[in-house]
Amino acid sequence: MASDKSFYLTTPIYYVNDAPHIGHAYTTVAGDVLTRWHRQRGESVWYLTGTDEHGQKVLNTAQSNNVLPQQWCDKLVESSWKPVWKDLNIANDDFIRTTEKRHTERVQKFLQGLKDAGHIYAGKFEGPYCIGCEEFKLPGDLDEGKCKIHSKPVEMLSEDNWFFKLSAFRQPLLDYYKSNPGACQPESARNEVISFLEGEVRDLSISRSTFDWGIPVPWDTDQVIYVWFDALLNYATAVGLGDDPASEGGKKFAKTWPADVHLVGKDILRFHAVIWPAMLMAANVPVPKKIFAHGWLLVGGEKMSKSKLTGIAPGDITKDFGVDAFRYYFLKAIPFGSDGSFSWEDMAARYTSELANDFGNLASRLIAMIEKYCDGKIPKVAKDNDLASLLVKTVKSADDAICALDFQGGINAIMDFCKRVNGYVTEKEPWVVAKDPSRKNELDEILYNTAESLRALAVLLHPVMPEVTEKLWQSLGAASLGDIGNQRVDQVSNWGQLLAQSTVTKTDVLFPRLEEAK
Ligand code: MSP
């Protein structure tokens, strides 16, 4: 990367009406893998996640639990959201809450700027509203009076509100997406946005007057800012939007903005690909470089959700499979951008064949053989040209795929290399070679090549599975090469890094056998 601009990636900020489920974790893990990968490319990285705390949905939940909304949010953030991200090894650089002053003040300043520039006017909103989506709906968005996403009846609103002239940005947005294919991905998402923009785009009500859980409209404090208008701004307020360029916030903004990727689920694509860039265009702030919409995790063929009682908490899965397998599974099994069904059977099958057998066993066999045949010391450096050149290709494919958010393609490339290394060990039969002392040199070469391949696998899989790869790193005696997180993607295929004579150590099994009865 030429400038000192950080690679800036965001997740949606999650509603704190409930605890995280695996749909939320899916996005946050994907973002974590991508940012860890970019860090290992040697880039400066900024990874933001957070919580969306205003609006009717959160207010209603707090009220039905008989607590004030702020108390509700504080409790959920501290006792559910942050701990789950910690448990899943999410290495976010910042966590924004929309009730924080750094956010609310910058939102008000931004809105005032739009008002002063003539993008806001007073109007009346009449129509359906889905509290689940926190969205003003059009009649076509409904199915027998119910929101198509939440299958719940909508509210009929009739309010005097403030409006944003969204319609004025229809053509500029259309031109933008037509000439920047990378700005909205995957292709299906881009097509959806283009066809939406080719239809009628109405101005957007950006305030609510019937409840007060929100950021007050600065010039009309009887109204609070519409929760999506408030929430979308988090991506920019968290890094200093609108601050004096000479201040800390201003410098942070210059270093991070525009965001490189906003990761979103496909249900919230339009907010991000239409409303958000229009808000920024109106304020003369550069638009994000890419919106990437991933698919849904389905349970029983439907979007998994707490409100439909199909919600699964990450802990339900990690208690049996561990955190690393959880992180690996969803990105490996489902093409990023498509929907995918979750099933315990598929998860268990992949855990056993891909992680425990292909990867975990390779590591434990190698360590056991080095202990047995080489006194626990890495033998002298050797180079199998086929493995070494396959590794070069693997790194290139994995890097291209992951940078394009094709996690499945990237992980496939790495796991194919793992399979090849298994094939190498099977063909070379080190346990047979070991029986003949005159073939000691050959044995050492086989073991070095295998160990060196495992070094590369540990580094390449580290963004996906930080915990087991760290264990493997220690076990291979690779700590002298530095922390695993500091190993660079562009150097991983330099063959011969493991030092001869470093000591390997047996560790716990990387992927323990699953209990029979679940
Ligand atoms: N608060 C808004 C986002 C504001 S961003 C400025 C919101 N929150 S949410 O908690 O309802 O959902 C957050 C994300 O979780 C969305 O991207 C949504 O797609 C994702 N998921 C919720 N259920 C999901 C699945 N079943 N599968 C995959 N992702 C899902 O929307």
Give the strand order in the sheet containing 184-185. 94-97, 45-52, 7-15, 261-265, 291-294, 184-185
pLDDT in tens, 190-239: 999 999 999 999 999 999 999 999 999 999 999 999 999 999 999 999 99
In three-state secondary structure terms, 279 is: helix
Distance 14 CA to ligand 1 centre (A): 6
Run of H or E including 46: strand 45-52
pLDDT at position 335 over 50 = yes
Which range (255-259, 268-272, 301-305, 308-312) has the least confidence? Answer: 308-312
The structure tokens 């209990």 sit at: 515
CATH of residue 435's domain is 1.10.730.10
Distance 44 CA to ligand 1 centre (A): 27
Model pLDDT, residue 181 = 95
Active-site residue numbers? Answer: 21, 24, 130, 133, 147, 150, 303, 306
Distance 150 CA to ligand 1 centre (A): 12
Q: Which atom of ligand 1 is nearest to the CA of 267?
A: 19
pLDDT at position 518 over 50 = no
Q: Is residue 142 part of a domain?
A: no
168 contacts: CB under 8 Å, gap ≥ 6: 119, 282
- What's the rounded mean pLDDT across residues 88-92? 98
Run of H or E including 13: strand 7-15
User: Smallest Cα–Cα separation from 34: which of 340, 292, 318?
Assistant: 292
Q: Is residue 9 part of a domain?
A: no
Q: Is residue 423 part of a domain?
A: yes
Model pLDDT, residue 406 = 98
Distance 505 CA to ligand 1 centre (A): 43
d(CA 48, CA 93): 6
Read off the DSSP letter of residue 10: E
Residue type, 134: E
pLDDT at position 489 over 70 = yes
CB 13 within 8 A of CB 231: yes
Query: CA 168, 55, 297, 356 torsion: positive or negative?
Result: positive
What residues form DSSP beta bridges with 124?
160
Alpha carbon nearest to ligand 1 atom 2, residue:
14
Mutate to test the pocket of ligand 1, among 54, 57, 215, 267 (most ligand atoms within 8 A of CB): 267
Kindly tell me the burial class for residue 456, based on how many C-beta atoms sit within 10 Å of its own C-beta (0-12, 13-18, 19 or more). Answer: buried
pLDDT in tens, 10-32: 999 999 999 999 999 999 999 99
Alpha carbon nearest to ligand 1 atom 19, residue:
265
Alpha carbon nearest to ligand 1 atom 5, residue:
12
192 contacts: CB under 8 Å, gap ≥ 6: 269
Mutate to test the pocket of ligand 1, among 9, 10, 14 (most ligand atoms within 8 A of CB): 14
Distance 81 CA to ligand 1 centre (A): 14
Alpha carbon nearest to ligand 1 atom 7, residue:
14
Three-state SS sequence of 48-66: EEEEECCCHHHHHHHHHCC
Q: Which atom of ligand 1 is nearest to the CA of 263?
A: 17
d(CA 156, CA 226): 16
What residues form DSSP beta bridges with 47?
9
Model pLDDT, residue 1 = 41
Q: Is residue 408 part of a domain?
A: yes
Alpha carbon nearest to ligand 1 atom 25, residue:
23
pLDDT at position 306 over 80 = no
d(CA 425, CA 422): 5
Q: Is residue 195 part of a domain?
A: no
pLDDT in tens, 95-135: 999 999 999 999 999 999 999 999 999 999 999 999 999 99
Residues with CB under 6 A from ligand 1: 12-15, 23-24, 26-27, 52, 231-232, 234, 264-265, 267-268, 296-297, 303-305
Distances (CA, A) of 91 to 87, 187, 460: 11, 29, 17
Mean pLDDT of the chain: 96
Alpha carbon nearest to ligand 1 atom 23, residue:
23
Which range (182-186, 197-201, 202-206, 340-344) has the least confidence? Answer: 340-344
Q: Is residue 19 part of a domain?
A: no
Model pLDDT, residue 434 = 98
pLDDT in tens, 140-160: 888 888 988 888 889 999 999
pLDDT in tens, 459-471: 999 999 999 999 9
Distance 261 CA to ligand 1 centre (A): 16
What is the token pair recorded at 79?
């006792």
Mutate to test the pocket of ligand 1, among 10, 27, 230, 279 (most ligand atoms within 8 A of CB): 27
Distance 202 CA to ligand 1 centre (A): 24
Distance 356 CA to ligand 1 centre (A): 31
Model pLDDT, residue 3 = 65
User: Smallest Cα–Cα separation from 304: which of 350, 266, 340, 344?
Assistant: 340
Q: Is residue 159 part of a domain?
A: no
CB 295 within 8 A of CB 334: yes
Please tell me the total count of domains within the chain.
Answer: 1
Q: With cut-offs at 50, 70 and 90, classify the pLDDT of residue 516.
A: low
Give percent of the chain with pLDDT exceeding 70: 98
Give the strand order in the sheet containing 216-217. 207-208, 220-225, 216-217
Q: With cut-offs at 50, 70 and 90, classify the pLDDT of residue 2.
A: very low
Mutate to test the pocket of ligand 1, among 9, 11, 24, 85 (most ligand atoms within 8 A of CB): 24
pLDDT in tens, 406-427: 999 999 999 999 999 999 999 9
Distance 12 CA to ligand 1 centre (A): 7
Residue 416: give the domain boundaries: 344-491
Alpha carbon nearest to ligand 1 atom 24, residue:
23
d(CA 141, CA 145): 9
Alpha carbon nearest to ligand 1 atom 16, residue:
265
Model pLDDT, residue 374 = 97
Q: With cut-offs at 50, 70 and 90, classify the pLDDT of residue 61.
A: very high
Q: Which atom of ligand 1 is nearest to the CA of 14?
A: 10
Q: Is residue 316 part of a domain?
A: no
